[in-house]
Amino acid sequence: FECFDLDDDPQGTNGWNWQGQFFACTEMVMPTSSSKNTSMFPAYDYDYASDEEWCLENYGVKPRPTWITTEFGGHGFKHALKNFGSNIIFSNGLLDPWSGGSVLEDISETIVALVTEKGAHHLDLRAATAEDPDWLVEQRAAEVKLIQSWLDQYLDKKRKVFDM
């Protein structure tokens, strides 16, 4: 029995190397730690100073660990969205452990939660395949229908302005 080589991801992480890491440096600091007593992962203590040094060295930016809560209202982000947001779809699969921190109910007519029991992290955003289950095809269709209705409303308003 061989252990998984953490340095060799067969799925490839090229996109994460610059997109995800830059995002983690600039907008979404994601501290993680683990203990050999409570986790299957190797013991690791989070060190903000080393993350800050790495972000400065690689991207020339200093992490903003409180940006997300400052920008979006922390635990009160639903209130901020209701007052200032529109045309947002929160697509959630309840198999995704991140769904617990997401929006699982509609906030308004234009801030909509599409929730499925079977989905997981951004599955609906991946390219469609012939093997996609019916619920996933239906969820994507619902997303397209919502986006199309918002675009139609925008174009109708624009036409009315220019037809005057």
Please give the structure tokens belonging to residue 89. Answer: 């779809």
Average pLDDT across the chain, whole number: 84
Distance from CA of residue 64 to its chain's centroid?
18
Please give the structure tokens belonging to residue 96. Answer: 């995704």
Answer yes or no: do 39 and 85 share one domain: no
pLDDT tens-digit readout, 72-101? 777 777 887 888 889 999 999 999 888 888
Answer yes or no: do 148 and 87 share one domain: yes
Has residue 34 got a pLDDT over 80? yes
Judged by DSSP in three states, 19 sits in: helix
Answer yes or no: do 54 and 81 share one domain: no
Answer yes or no: do 106 and 49 share one domain: no
Answer yes or no: do 27 and 94 share one domain: no
pLDDT for residue 33: 83
Q: Which residue has the tokens 């252990």?
A: 3
Judged by DSSP in three states, 84 sits in: helix
Closest among 74, 73, 58 to 26, alpha carbons compared: 58
pLDDT for residue 4: 58
Segments forming the whole domain that contains residue 27: 14-59
Has residue 138 got a pLDDT over 70? yes
pLDDT for residue 13: 45
Judged by DSSP in three states, 83 sits in: helix
User: In terms of pLDDT, which residue wins out, 70 or 85?
Assistant: 85
Answer yes or no: do 45 and 121 share one domain: no
58-67, 105-114, 154-163: which is most confident = 105-114
Q: Where are the beta strands (DSSP E) in the chain?
A: 88-93, 111-116
pLDDT for residue 152: 96
Percent of the chain with pLDDT over 70: 88
pLDDT for residue 143: 96
Answer yes or no: do 54 and 79 share one domain: no
Answer yes or no: do 53 and 103 share one domain: no
Is position 4 within any domain? no
Judged by DSSP in three states, 44 sits in: strand
Is position 3 within any domain? no
Answer yes or no: do 84 and 136 share one domain: yes
pLDDT tens-digit readout, 94-135? 998 888 888 899 999 999 999 999 888 788 988 899 999 999
Residues 51, 57, 62, 67: is their CA dihedral positive or negative? Answer: negative
Answer yes or no: do 47 and 85 share one domain: no
pLDDT for residue 70: 80
pLDDT for residue 157: 92
